[in-house]
């Protein structure tokens, strides 16, 4: 009696199907990312369609929740409007889309600066930026470090741009109360009309700190999504003093 090898024909077919699924997913991700980058480029007539962003994350295997989609959409809208440098705390697929929006700026006064604590993930994002020819983007590896009451990136802010018009801080496990650290470290580098978008603030104490910072820095502070801890901070440009003479 001949026994069937359990790892024979059926195992080969299962392996082929698994490889085909991986190829299909990678191909779908590649094609969707290229469409997103084209739509996000400065020459595009219309803003990047939200459904494309959702499709991109679905191909990546990380479908967006409604709240995450709202935050990402807000980031892309603000990035499209801003005329200065952008600081992103934590590299992600969003890094490529933001980089595409900054590309094509000949004066180099509108670039993306991205901080990432995971050196491997930072290298992955850099390789994608090279592969898809997304320029005007700096991904800086910096370990997470404790600074008293918060955790932030171990980097000298002097390595960053002199002024930021937009700051994006999506709270992560590596940087608890990261928004507190962001405001503390780069406050003196924020443009007079800078916008700061924060998600996953995480605690009432951090929210209080953010609110107090906004009040002390001529900025509005709007709680967009309480459950997600999504806050928008917008500095107001000082009004010129009228000449009484």
Q: Whole-angstrom Cα distance, residue 199 to residue 229? A: 5
Q: Whole-angstrom Cα distance, residue 230 to residue 224? A: 5
Residue 241 has what pLDDT? 47
Q: What is the mean pLDDT of residues 43-71?
A: 83
Q: How confident is the model at residue 15 (pLDDT cuts 50, 70, 90)?
A: low
Q: What is the mean pLDDT of residues 175-185?
A: 79
Weakest mean pLDDT among 2-16, 145-159, 203-217:
2-16
Q: Whole-angstrom Cα distance, residue 114 to residue 80? A: 17
Residue 104 has what pLDDT? 63
Q: How confident is the model at residue 181 (pLDDT cuts 50, 70, 90)?
A: confident
Q: How confident is the model at residue 6 (pLDDT cuts 50, 70, 90)?
A: low
Q: What is the DSSP string of the chain?
A: -PPP-TTSHHHHHHHHHHHHHHHHHHHHHHHHHHHHHHHHSTT-SSPPPHHHHHHHHHHHT-PPPHHHHHHHHHHHHHHHH--SEEEEES--HHHHHHHHHHTT-TTS-S-EEEEES-HHHHHHHHHHHHHTT--SEEEEE--EEEETTEEEE---GGGS-S-EEEEEEE--TTSTTHHHHHHHHHGGGEEEEEEEEEE---SHHHHHHHHHHHHHTTEEEEEEETTTTEEEEEEPPPPPPP---
Q: What is the mean pLDDT of residues 181-192?
A: 90
Q: What's domain 64-235's superfamily in CATH?
A: Vaccinia Virus protein VP39 (3.40.50.150)
Q: What is the mean pLDDT of residues 116-131?
A: 94
Q: How confident is the model at residue 23 (pLDDT cuts 50, 70, 90)?
A: low
Q: How far is CA 128 from the centre of its chain?
A: 15
Residue 196 has what pLDDT? 95
- Does 156 have pLDDT greater than 50? yes
Q: What is the mean pLDDT of residues 211-217?
A: 91
Higher-confidence residue of 106 and 141: namely 141
Percentage of the chain exceeding pLDDT 90 = 36
Q: What is the mean pLDDT of residues 60-70?
A: 85
Q: Judge whether 126 and 135 are in contact, CB under 8 Å.
A: no
Q: How confident is the model at residue 202 (pLDDT cuts 50, 70, 90)?
A: confident
């Amino acid at each position: 009696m001949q026994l069937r090898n359990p790892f024979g024909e059926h195992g080969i077919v299962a392996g082929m199907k698994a490889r085909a699924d991986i190829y299909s997913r990678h191909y779908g991700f590649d094609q969707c990312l290229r469409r997103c980058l084209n739509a996000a480029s400065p020459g595009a007539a219309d803003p990047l369609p939200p459904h494309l962003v959702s499709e991109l994350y679905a191909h990546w295997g990380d479908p967006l929740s409604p709240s995450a989609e709202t935050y990402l959409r807000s980031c892309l809208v603000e990035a499209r409007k801003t005329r200065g440098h952008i600081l992103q705390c934590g590299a992600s697929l969003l890094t490529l889309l933001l980089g595409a929006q900054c590309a094509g700026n000949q004066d180099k006064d509108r670039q993306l600066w991205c901080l990432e604590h995971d050196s491997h993930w930072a290298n992955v994002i850099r390789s994608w930026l090279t592969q898809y020819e997304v320029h005007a983007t700096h991904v800086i590896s910096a370990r997470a470090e404790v600074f008293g009451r918060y955790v932030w990136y171990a980097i000298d802010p002097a390595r960053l741009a002199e002024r930021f018009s937009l700051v994006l801080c999506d709270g992560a496990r590596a940087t608890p109360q990261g928004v507190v650290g962001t405001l503390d470290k780069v406050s003196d580098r924020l443009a007079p009309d800078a916008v700061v978008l924060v998600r996953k603030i995480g605690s009432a104490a951090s929210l209080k700190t953010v609110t107090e910072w906004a009040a002390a820095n001529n900025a509005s502070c709007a709680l967009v999504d309480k459950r997600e801890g999504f806050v928008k901070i917008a500095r107001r440009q000082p009004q010129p003093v009228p000449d009484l003479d």
